[in-house]
Structure 1
Amino acid sequence: MDLRPYLHISPQVEHALSTGQPVLALPTTDFARCLPAEEGLALARRTEIEVRAQGAVPAPVAVLGGALTVGLSESEWRRVCSGETGKASRRDLPVLLANGGSGAATAAASIIAACLAGIRVFSAGAIGGVAAQSDRMDVSADLQEVCKTPVAVVCAGVKCGCSPLLTLEYLETMGVTVLGCGTDRFPGFLTQDGPALENPPQSALQLARTARIKWDVGLSGGLLYCARPDGAARLEPQAYEQAQRRAMDEADRLGVRGGARTPFLLQKILQSSEAARGAYEKAVLASARAGAEIAVKYAQL
């Protein structure tokens, strides 16, 4: 299969992959869909600096001009964060690639791109999970991608409106290994920890070895690794629940559904307070730091 018409890898990322350097894939929706352009760019720069400080090469993913792009230049980052591009998840990729479209990549699309490029570790501030609605159970495309694509996914929880407990139950049913990066709890995105994990905290080396062994023995799919941000950086549960409830009520009132709902909810929560924006930045950076550490250990195996 010739992916060259659809996949563009930046020279820096291409060189790192060809020489066996550790590479960490990143989604661009963490920076482009929920923050003002300059704030998103600033956080993107801080995240890339954090990844490099741990010894890995950052590989942010976006769809630009009909190409699944892995590794962005400054001008490409500005384009993605400007608001000119939409959202690119799994279902959007064929349309965008066929029609020369552009979009900020979700976790699902970024995991796909990482796999195609040969990158084994990906990190995001949070991924989509299982959202229990009154009339249905909604399973995010992010979560389904974790189940079937051989990439180790590092995150600091599940996105707004999703249940950590239901997400863990779904992953258990699908046979996905879930481990903590130095924690034995499933992190609560922006707020307190969620359910306990079955296994004790793992080091970056242990997590890298677990992923390598899973794939060496022929087990399909990915793994989910949980990064815990500094507790002082997280919101009080009541403040988070109130902000989330207000955002969900507004989304219902305005009829915001489908792929637009999650970024809408997060944007409203981040607008609610300086503490919420600080907690979000800490979650993104904690995941990137842990992901880069794992990527470095994986490259050394």
Structure 2
Amino acid sequence: MDANWLVVADEVRAAVADGRPVVALESTLIAHGLPWPANLETARESEAAIREQGAVPATIAVLGGVPTVGLTAAQLEEIATREGVWKASRRDLAAAVALKKHAATTVSATMALARAAGIRVFATGGIGGAHRESDFDISADLTELARTPVLVVCSGAKSILDLPRTLEILETYAVPVLGYQTEQFPTFYTAGAVGAVARVESPAEAAAVFAAHVRMGGGGGAVLAQPCPEAVAISAEEFNLALNEAEIDATAEGIAGPQLTPFLLSRLAELTQGKTLAANRTLIVNNATLAAQVAKELL
């Protein structure tokens, strides 16, 4: 069950204790990934989608130094509107706690806190991965997946990354990667896919594979990747043109490190006249729905 150093909402605690389905949600996309008011709207829509499937949502963040699993409506709005919220990966959690900061959790930090609270399924937009311009800029999401037994439902890794390399690293770390009704790894909000993954046709199959992975001592988590809906997916040509321009802008402004991904996502939304933002919002809610369906099958 949950550790004594974090706060778990009563509803979430009761659901975990009773063996009812719970889905974790990250907060970085609220504080850093989406602009106001789309960030709060998407967070609310994701939680509502999970409830519609009969599961309990648990949005996760650090509030005043307290890791919190299951934000209230007021806390959700605070993360969406507050200035100076940290972007915290697993590495940053101790600093956020000790320094009593407000911090939005990335995939890696959310996985760690979800695991501590006894939650096995987590929904997000896209995981981090290997960046295209540096051999050393590799997201902590990948190492977290290698060691923390949480199933991450996403639409692949973010399109700004080196996706084939990201997929190879996941293989090296022995992280099962499942394609939801697809044999290839989705490319986030662009139309297309890369590599080869194990296909599952239903939430029940996805749950069965993850359960087998954990039962057989896999040790870490798994990825369930669902393609972005075709109606809102961006063409690869349009996206690549916009990304090239966004990367030039980032270099000119000296943007790097943890701030690079939020900058690129924001600039891409501008350059595509909001197409990437619309696609991102749609796939986030779709993934929340699928995650809830899988969580029910894991019971």
For 1:150, the equivalent position in structure 2 comes to 149
Question: 1:216 Cα deviation (Å)?
Answer: 1.6
**Match of 2:162?**
163
Please give the alpha-carbon distance, in whole angstroms, between the structure 2 residues aligned to 1:287 and 1:91.
26
Q: CA deviation at 1:238?
A: 1.4
The offset of 1:196, in angstroms, is: 4.1
Name the aligned partner's letter for residue 113 of structure 1.
L
Could you tell me which amino acid in structure 1 is paired with residue 150 of structure 2?
V
1:190 aligns to what?
Answer: 189
Q: d(CA) in 1 for partners of 2:138 and 2:258?
A: 12
CA distance in 2, matches of 1:34, 1:217: 36
Q: Which residue of 1 aligns with 2:86?
A: 86
Give the letter for the 2:78 counterpart. R
Displacement of 1:287 in angstroms is: 1.4
Verify the 8 A CA contact 1:164 1:194 in the aligned structure 2: no
The residue aligned with 1:95 is 95
Output the CA distance in 1 between the equivalents of 2:284 and 2:267.
Answer: 17
Q: Using the alignment, how far apart are the partners of 2:274 and 2:151 within structure 1?
A: 31
Cα distance per residue 1:199-257 (max 9 Å; x no partner)? 33331111111111221222201111101121111011111112212221111111111
Distance 2:261 2:159 in 1: 7
- The alpha carbon displacement at 1:138 in A equals 2.2
Distance (whole Å) between structure 2 residues aligned to residue 145 and residue 43 of structure 1: 25
Q: Does 1:47 align with 2:64?
A: no
Q: Show the counterpart of 1:17.
A: 16
Which structure 2 residues correspond to residues 1-301 of structure 1 after superposition, within 5 A?
3-4=3-4, 6-84=5-83, 85-133=85-133, 136-272=135-271, 273-299=273-299
2: CA distance between counterparts of 1:200 and 1:216?
A: 20
Shift of residue 185, structure 1, vs aligned partner: 1.9
Question: What is the rounded CA distance, in whole Å, between the counterparts of 1:182 and 1:2 in structure 2?
Answer: 34
Matched position secondary structure for 2:260:
helix
Alpha-carbon offset, residue 261 of structure 1: 0.9
Contact between 2:2 and 2:117, CA under 8 Å: does it hold in 1?
Answer: no
Measured on the aligned residues, the alpha-carbon RMSD in Å equals 1.6
C-alpha separation in 2, matches of 1:270 and 1:13: 34
Q: How many aligned residue pairs are there? A: 297
Determine what percentage of the aligned residue pairs are the same residue.
36
Name segments (4+ residues, structure 1) moved above 4 Å: none
Deviations 1:58-96 (A, max 9, x none): 111101011111111111011101142121111210101
What is the one-letter code of the residue matched to 1:274?
A: G
Show structure 2 runs of 5+ residues with no match: none
Q: SS where residue 207 of structure 2 aligns?
A: helix
Separation of aligned partners in 2, 1:196 and 1:293: 26
CA distance in 1, matches of 2:13, 2:197: 37
**CA distance in 1: counterparts of 2:2 and 2:184, whole angstroms:** 42
Residue type of the alignment partner of 1:34 = G
Q: Which secondary structure does the structure 2 equivalent of 1:213 belong to? A: helix
Instruction: Measure, in 2, the Cα distance between the counterparts of 1:40 and 1:280.
Output: 11
What secondary structure, in the 3-state scheme, does the structure 1 residue paired with 2:60 have? Answer: strand
Deviation at 1:155, TM superposition (A): 0.7
- Return closer, same or farther for 1:95/1:293 CA change in 2, 3 Å cut-off: same
Contact 1:160 1:266 in 2 (8 A): no
Distance of 1:51 and 1:102 partners within structure 2: 25
SS of the residue corresponding to residue 200 of structure 1 reads strand
Which runs of 5 or more structure 1 residues have no equivalent in the other structure?
none
Query: Which stretch shifts more, 244-253 or 70-79?
Result: 244-253
- TM-score w.r.t. the length of structure 2 is 0.95
Give, in whole Å, the separation in 1 of the partners of 2:156 and 2:216.
Answer: 28
